[in-house]
Each structure stands twice: as structure tokens, then as C-alpha cells.
């Protein structure tokens, strides 16, 4: 269920430049957020690393790679490899193109959301990994490298930048996150335009307490198995 308490949306036009400047130049944005990311990642590693190793071994059982890396756009337009546990079949791209060519409604959904309700590429274990968001655990490496933050916009591919329109500067001003307002505000049940507005809203409100609140509420979203 969508949490309406956090869906007071903003756009670049509706936020004063002074607000955006404060959001970008405050102590937390400049220093504290990175410090929190590194410390939190170090605390989580002893718990997360064994889980990643076990899941990697299981994923490898079908003969394909255990990890999947895909190019994403980060802060200041910097491209980086976003890592996940592989949740798709080995011939995922060709299977996707065949499916979209044969299903116009699915093609429209893909064009609109860059996601599919019934994705033919997902393997059997992949459905579980995505429902529980366990496929995203390797992104803790992206956080340690500085490509991502624990909280931020959903990482996107280059061609999705056009969907942000005038709000693209808000996306490029911050690091993508493992979780974010999009995760706790409906996730797959919100439109792309709402996702964009949430990214702008997060930038305007960004703070240590806001990040803690989102991380805590992410646990509820994961337990609710809202992923796909």
C-alpha cells in the first residue's frame, strides 16, 4: 500500500533555489552522508557478506555467473557498474526483445516504467531474490566504492534521464541509493513521474534523520515482499 504520508511531491520548479542549495551544501550532504554510508556498510558487512556468498553459490548452480553488473548513471553524470545477484536467465536480453515484440501491452509497460509485471527474463530463484530485494545486497560494494549511497534515487540507465525532464538536475546532484523514498512510497505501484518527483523531494529534505527513517521503513517494505 502506498504511504501517502511521504508523498508530498516537489519538482525543480516548485522548490526554491535556496532550498536546493542548502540541501547540497549542508554538512550532512557534504560530509556526514558519506561518513554514515561507510560506517554503516562496515557494520553490516559481517552479516551481509556470508548471505551474499551463499546466494552466489546457489545462483551459480545453473552454470551462469553469480553476479550481474549493469551500467548506471550516478552523481554528476558519472557512469558506474551497479552490482546485483543475477536473477535472470542467461539469454535475458534476447528473451526480452522476443517477448516485447510479441506483446504490445508489455512493450508499452516497458517503455513507460522500464519494468514488467510479468518479466520473462526472471529465473526461478530470481523471483524470490527480487521479492525480498536480496538481489540488491551486492550494492553494498557500490556504497563502499562511493558510487552509491544507502539512501538516494533509484539508479537508472542513461536513456532514462530523458524521462526526468527539467528535474534531471535533481537526480544528477545526488548518488543513487540502495533504497530511497521510492522504496517506501509504493515502489512498483507508483508512476515514473511520481518516482521523479520523489527524487526531487528527497533532495530537498535530505538529512540524517530522514535517511534513518527511510532505512528503518525499508525493512517493512522488504518484509512485505513488494519487489519484482
According to the model, what pLDDT value does residue 34 have?
Answer: 96
User: Tens-of-pLDDT digits for all 228 residues of the chain?
Assistant: 344 334 445 555 555 455 566 666 678 988 999 999 999 999 999 999 999 999 999 999 877 889 999 999 999 999 999 999 998 887 788 888 888 888 888 888 888 877 788 888 888 888 889 888 899 999 999 999 999 999 999 999 999 999 999 889 889 999 999 999 988 887 767 888 899 999 998 998 899 999 999 999 988 777 765 555
Render 173-224 in DSSP notation, one character per residue. Answer: TS--EEE-HHHHTTGGGS-HHHHHHHHHHHHHH--HHHHHHHHHHHHHHHHT
For residue 210, what is its C-alpha cell? 530522514
pTM (2 decimals)?
0.81
According to the model, what pLDDT value does residue 6 have?
Answer: 41
Report yes or no: 175 and 149 within 8 Å, Cβ to Cβ. yes
According to the model, what pLDDT value does residue 121 have?
Answer: 87
Q: Rounded to an integer, what is the distance from CA 144 to the centroid of its chain?
A: 16
Amino acid at each position: 500500500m502506498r504511504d501517502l504520508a511521504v508523498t508530498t511531491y516537489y519538482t525543480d520548479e516548485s522548490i526554491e533555489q535556496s532550498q536546493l542549495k542548502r540541501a547540497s551544501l549542508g554538512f550532512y550532504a557534504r560530509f556526514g552522508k558519506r561518513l554514515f554510508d561507510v560506517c554503516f556498510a562496515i557494520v553490516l558487512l559481517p552479516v551481509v557478506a556470508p548471505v551474499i556468498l551463499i546466494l552466489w553459490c546457489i545462483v551459480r548452480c545453473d552454470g551462469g555467473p553469480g553476479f550481474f553488473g549493469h551500467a548506471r548513471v550516478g552523481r554528476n553524470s558519472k557512469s558506474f557498474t551497479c552490482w546485483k545477484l543475477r536473477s535472470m536467465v542467461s539469454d535475458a536480453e534476447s528473451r526480452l526483445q522476443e517477448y516485447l515484440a510479441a506483446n504490445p501491452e508489455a512493450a508499452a509497460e516497458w517503455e513507460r516504467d522500464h519494468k514488467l509485471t510479468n518479466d520473462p527474463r526472471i529465473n526461478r530463484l530470481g523471483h524470490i531474490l527480487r521479492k525480498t530485494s536480496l538481489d540488491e545486497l551486492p550494492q553494498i560494494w557500490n556504497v563502499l566504492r562511493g558510487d552509491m549511497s544507502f539512501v538516494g534515487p533509484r539508479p537508472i540507465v542513461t536513456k532514462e534521464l530523458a524521462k526526468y525532464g527539467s528535474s534531471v538536475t535533481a537526480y544528477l546532484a545526488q548518488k543513487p541509493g540502495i533504497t530511497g523514498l521510492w522504496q517506501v512510497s509504493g515502489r512498483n505501484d507508483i508512476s515514473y513521474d511520481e518516482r521523479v518527483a520523489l527524487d526531487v523531494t528527497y533532495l530537498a529534505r535530505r538529512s540524517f534523520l530522514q535517511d534513518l527513517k527511510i532505512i528503518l521503513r525499508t525493512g517493512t517494505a522488504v518484509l512485505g515482499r513488494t519487489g519484482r
